[in-house]
Amino acid sequence: MSVPMILAVAAVVVVAVVLGVVFGRQKDVRRRAAAPVKTGAVLMAVFTAFGGAFIGGYAMDEPGGTAGLLMILA
pTM score: 0.62
Average predicted confidence (pLDDT) for the chain? 83
Instruction: Identify the three-state secondary structure at position 71.
Output: helix
Determine the average pLDDT of the residues in 28-45: 87
Q: What is the count of structural domains for the chain?
A: 1
The number of residues making up the chain comes to: 74
Calpha distance 48→40 (Å, rounded): 12
Q: At how many degrees (to 10) do helices 65-73 and 29-61 cross?
A: 150
28/15 Cα distance (integer angstroms): 19
**Residue 65: pLDDT over 80:** no
Please give the residue range of the domain that contains residue 52: 3-73
